[in-house]
Amino acid sequence: MTAHSLSVHRLSAGYGDRTILQGLDLDILPGRITAIVGANACGKSTLLRSMARLLAPQQGQVLLDGKAVHRMPPRQVARIMGLLPQSPLAPEGIAVADLVGRGRHPHHGILSRWSQADDQAVADAMEATRTLDLAHCAVDELSGGQRQRVWIAMALAQQTDLLLLDEPTTFLDISHQIEVLDLLTDLNQRRGTTVVMVLHDLNLAARYADHLVAMAGGALHAQGAPDEVLTEDTVRAVFGLSSRIVPDPTSGRPMMLPIGRHRMA
Amino acid sequence: MTASLIARGRRRRARRRHAVIGGACALLLAGFALTLMLGQSFVAPQTVLRVLAGQDVPGASFTVGQLRLPRAVVAILAGLSFGLGGAAFQIMLRNPLASPDIIGISRGASVAAVLAIVVLDLDGPMVSVMAVIAGLAVAIAIHGLASRGGVAGTRLILVGIGVSAMLDSVIAWTLSRAPSWDLAEAMRWLTGSVNGAHLSQALPLLASLAVFGGLLVSRSRDLETLRLGDDTAAALGTDVAATRVAVIVAAVGLIAVATAITGPIAFVAFLSGPIAARILGPNGSVLIPAALVGAALVLVGDYAGQFLLPARFPVGVVTGALGAPYLIYLIVRMNRTGGSL
Amino acid sequence: MTAATAIPGLDRRPGGGRGLWLVLLVFLLALLGALSVAVGTRDVGLDDILAALHGRTDSIGQAAVAARIPRTVLAAVAGAALGLSGAVMQGVTRNPLADPGILGVNLGASLAVAVAVAWFGIASMQAYVWVAIGGAGATAAFVYAIGSLGRGGPTPLKLALAGMATSVALSSLVVAVMLSRGDVAGGLQAWQIGGVGGATFARLMPVLPFLGAGLAISLASARWLNALALGDDMAAGLGERVAVARGVSSAGAILLCGATTAVCGPIGFVGLVVPHLCRLLTGIDHRWLLPFSALGGACLLIASDIAGRLLARPAELDVGIVTALVGAPVFVGIVRRARVREL
């Protein structure tokens, strides 16, 4: 797979008159996993939504392979870059295989017919996410973790080199959070898919990401390898929280332990 | 291997879909034939065919050719328009309550038609044009009033209910100024009726189905992706804003042209989509089945209003009485699940 | 100096000058009443007006003015009843969109009257009132029951939709009744749009006892409504019997709107608009809000009636049409202002 490049150049974005991001620059590392972290309302979702061209920039631009993504034909972008929004909606009663098949939308025009290649893409996506045995179930009957795997399968059926995810682990039990992050790592390692995700949990972000982006107040505070970024200073600046950083005994990555006012030894 | 498993499921869904559409078409044709034969007097099938072939049959040429045929044709075409337009809105806004007859778009078209006929003394295509313009104006107004950083579904529906109430009073006002206060005519603009239909009225309906219906069906794949949420649709490469505009123009066009001819037949746009979805199940786009259901509702409702009830009622009274309990059922169901619709 | 008065701005809360507003409102009502007698489709001189007020009906002008007097009184009474009943309903349901018109209660009264007239040959005003109140009560109970089933209680959306569904069904039925009895349809149709034209004191008299009872109950329920505003659990915690409070207050509101509907037909939006405007003046205390709503309703309905007479000269516009034209934009405004979470 050829690696596509995605970068953000002097981007200002927001909703209505409100500007949330102020002149932000960021290069996404191709073929790696990037996690964006920060406190609530720091602009991390705004950044992801701008990159996925769901939000038009007020100033600056988002460049996909050097071209302004907001001016490219939507279907062409959708064949390169997939997105899993925070709360996608499943139509009532839709079967898993049918929903995953919706991921083939950008590969079809008004008149084109469904082909063998489409079936193969759907099957591959479901195999990768271990949802094949759910193929004929209705999506509304699935558990939260299963449903999230199905949505990821849909994004995979899109067969894009870039995958953006907005908080893919929220509302999931801890075991399903790990399952989803493992799955995304599989994808990255086997197919070389570039993964960019917004994550709530700092420690999971530090464990799974190759590149950590910490945001505060609509700007980039720090970026780099988790070891460099996840420091006591960063946590204080980004979350306003005292903490200690220790090596995670299971992964060797840094791990943040919060310090409150009580129960401190 | 696994791909063939996927293909099997897909073909099964397609087969069910075709069976439903085929069955609905057959039923509609049967209903059409029956309404031509039955009524105050029975007309034998051979006689109906001779009238349709253009032969002059004493008696039957009038009852079938002048009364029943135009009525059935207009009922079916108007029903197709209402069903298509209503389902398009419901899919686009992901809410069965967001149908044009609840959020005031049918009312807007109705007001324009009444004004054009009663005050400006217009007829024919100009009435349809004014209805379409008014329907679009109401759609834009409701959208503008309800949006505050994105359209919130609930607010849109409540705003629509308020706008409908106001438009209703404009209709009542206009009708009270009409030279002759005619109850039957008033009923047409308040609840909808196919009384006194002419075959010439079928032409604008056909044209609108061809133009607006065609536009809608050509966008049906993009419309389907909107059911996954606006963000997901955009991620799949759908131009959400352009799709919205196309769907609104097409659906409002369909609804307004039909309203200009039959009046806002109550709740057909609202009922067709959900009924079609119930029959079809999760087997693809509900647009075409909804159109067929709409046609059946108007055809059967009109027949029932004419011959099956103690007095003669316009079709809108029948569909209104059908639709209200369903709306109540939706509310009760919304209560049970605790969530939104 | 106590701590409370030391906080700047505390005494500038809404309702600071409530007494003054009350006087102004009474003055406005008197002014509108005078205007309503003086203004109409026919221009009348001052001497004719004065003569008519003394009971003389010699000239056409004097007769016209004499006919406007009961009409003005009816508009004032009906408006006060509707405004008050809307304020009580909004309090009972804790719902900013509650209104006898939107909840379909007026149409329930309509259907009951239509059925009574068409099939049971009832023609006396006394009987109308009983029938209308019965219909209004049954509809109110039905809509409220549907709207409040399940989790979340009666949210504005559910109540408005339940009211709308019920209204459509009821108006279909009213039409069905009218179409099957063509002979009485014309009169019913005029009654159904809602009007105060053609009012006489003889028509007004029979409903006054009902309106009086409704008024007394409603005004007396102000304290209950204040408690209910905190939520059912909190009200119970404060020692109120929630079911009793809610039942009695609703009965007062239903008496008011049922009786009004019996005389003038369904008139929408007065009960919605007036309490909202009054709340801007009085704040949320129902002991002030209720009398303000009654006065405000009277003003609004008289003003609408005058507007209806002037706008459509030489014909008249029924007051129900005017209130809908004025009220629907306010409804939309309320919906726009409310946060989505509350809807």
User: What's the average model confidence in pLDDT over B148-165?
Assistant: 73
Nearest CA in chain B to C175: B317
Q: Is residue A1 included in any domain, yes or no?
A: no
Cα angle at C237 between C231 and C238, to 5 degrees?
90
Q: Is residue A166 included in any domain, yes or no?
A: yes
DSSP label at residue B310: S
Q: Which of B161, B177, B180, B315 to mutate to test the interface with C (most CBs of C within 10 A)?
A: B161
Q: Is residue A24 included in any domain, yes or no?
A: yes
The answer for B 84-103 residues in CB contact with C (under 8 A) is 97, 102
CA dist., res. A103 & res. A157, Å (int):
5
For residue range A81-105, list pLDDT tens digits in order: 999 988 888 888 888 999 999 999 9
Domain that holds residue B88: 2-337
Judge residue A156's burial from the number of C-beta atoms within 10 Å of its C-beta, 0-12 exposed, 13-18 middle, 19 or more buried: buried
CA dist., res. A152 & res. A176, Å (int):
13
Count how many Cα atoms sit within 13 Å of the Cα of residue A39 in the half-sphere of its side chain.
Answer: 13
**pTM (predicted TM-score):** 0.84
pLDDT-derived band at C153, boundaries 50, 70, 90:
low
How many domains does chain A divide into? 1
pLDDT at position C185 over 70: no
Domain that holds residue C279: 72-338
CA dist., res. A99 & res. B220, Å (int):
16
Are B3 and A102 within 8 A, CB to CB? no
CA of residue A195 relative to chain centroid, distance: 6
Structure tokens at C245: 């409070």
A contact chains, 3+ CB pairs < 8 A: B
Nearest CA in chain C to B172: C321
Q: Which residue has the higher pLDDT, A184 or A18?
A: A184
Are B2 and A52 within 8 A, CB to CB? no
How many domains does chain C divide into? 1
Q: Which residue has the higher pLDDT, A32 or C133?
A: A32
Q: Which of A55, A94, A163 to mutate to test the interface with B (most CBs of B within 10 A)?
A: A94
Nearest CA-CA distance, residue C331 and chain B, Å: 6
CA dist., res. C258 & res. C213, Å (int):
12
CA dist., res. A228 & res. A254, Å (int):
9
Sign of CA dihedral A81, A87, A93, A96: positive
Candidates B5, B228, B281; nearest CB to A88: B228
CA dist., res. C196 & res. C40, Å (int):
13
Candidates A88, A103, A106; nearest CB to B229: A88
Cis peptide before A73 (omega within 30 of 0): no
Q: Give the relative orientation of helices B69-92 and B2-37 as an angle to the nearest 10 degrees.
A: 150
Candidates B224, B229, B282; nearest CB to A93: B282
Domain that holds residue A33: 6-259
The pLDDT of residue C7:
40
The pLDDT of residue C16:
58
Q: Is residue C17 included in any domain, yes or no?
A: no
Sign of CA dihedral A35, A36, A40, A44: negative
pLDDT-derived band at C11, boundaries 50, 70, 90:
very low
pLDDT-derived band at C189, boundaries 50, 70, 90:
low
Q: Is residue C300 included in any domain, yes or no?
A: yes
For residue range A213-226, list pLDDT tens digits in order: 999 988 999 999 99
Q: Is residue C33 included in any domain, yes or no?
A: no
Q: Which of C267, C321, C325 to mutate to test the interface with B (most CBs of B within 10 A)?
A: C321
Calculate the alpha carbon distances from B283 to A126, A142, B19, B233, B286 in Å.
Answer: 20, 19, 11, 19, 8
Q: Which CATH number belongs to the domain containing residue C85 in this structure? A: 1.10.3470.10
pLDDT-derived band at B207, boundaries 50, 70, 90:
very high
For residue range C226-242, list pLDDT tens digits in order: 888 887 778 888 878 88
CA dist., res. A198 & res. A83, Å (int):
12
Q: Using H for helix, E for strand and C for coil, what is the string for chain A? A: CCCCCEEEEEEEEEECCEEEEEEEEEEECCCCEEEEEECCCCCHHHHHHHHCCCCCCCEEEEEECCEEHHHCCHHHHHHHEEEECCCCCCCCCCEHHHHHHHHHHHHCCCCCCCCHHHHHHHHHHHHHCCCHHHCCCEHHHCCHHHHHHHHHHHHHHCCCCEEEEECCCCCCCHHHHHHHHHHHHHHHHHHCCEEEEECCCHHHHHHHCCEEEEEECCEEEEEECHHHHCCHHHHHHHHCCEEEEEECCCCCCEEEEEECCCCCC
Residues in chain A closer than 8 A to B225 (CB atoms): 102, 105
Structure tokens at C235: 């009200």
Residue type, C139: T
Structure tokens at C296: 């405000």
Q: Is residue C288 included in any domain, yes or no?
A: yes
CA dist., res. A189 & res. A200, Å (int):
23
CB of B115 closer than 8 Å to CB of B259 = no
Residues in chain B closer than 8 A to A74 (CB atoms): 234, 237-239
CB of A196 closer than 8 Å to CB of A167 = no
pLDDT at position B41 over 60: yes
Q: Is residue C25 included in any domain, yes or no?
A: no
CA of residue B210 relative to chain centroid, distance: 15
- Write down the ipTM of this complex: 0.86
pLDDT at position B256 over 80: yes
pLDDT at position B154 over 90: no
pLDDT at position A230 over 70: yes
Instruction: Check contact C-A (3+ Cβ pairs < 8 Å).
Output: no
* Chain B: residues touching A (Cβ < 8 Å): 2-7, 9-10, 13, 94, 149, 218, 221, 224-225, 227-229, 231-232, 234-239, 277, 281-282
Q: Which of A119-133, A176-190, B258-272, C85-99 has the lowest mean pLDDT?
A: C85-99
The pLDDT of residue C333:
83
Q: Which CATH number belongs to the domain containing residue B300 in this structure? A: 1.10.3470.10
The pLDDT of residue B29:
95
Residues in chain B closer than 8 A to A20 (CB atoms): none
Average pLDDT of chain C is 79
pLDDT at position C9 over 50: no
CB of C218 closer than 8 Å to CB of C290 = yes
Nearest CA in chain B to C269: B165
pLDDT at position C64 over 70: yes
- Strand-strand pairing, A211-216 and A219-224: antiparallel
Are B158 and C328 within 8 A, CB to CB? no
Structure tokens at C28: 């406005």
Nearest CA in chain C to B324: C165
Does the CB of A221 have a partner CB in chain B at under 8 Å? no
C176 C-beta neighbours (distance < 10 Å), count: 21
Are A135 and B232 within 8 A, CB to CB? no
Are C161 and B97 within 8 A, CB to CB? yes
How many domains does chain B divide into? 1
Q: Which CATH number belongs to the domain containing residue A64 in this structure? A: 3.40.50.300
The answer for C 20-79 residues in CB contact with B (under 8 A) is none
The separation between the first and the last C-alpha atoms of chain C, rounded to the nearest angstrom, is 43
Candidates B154, B177, B267; nearest CB to C340: B154
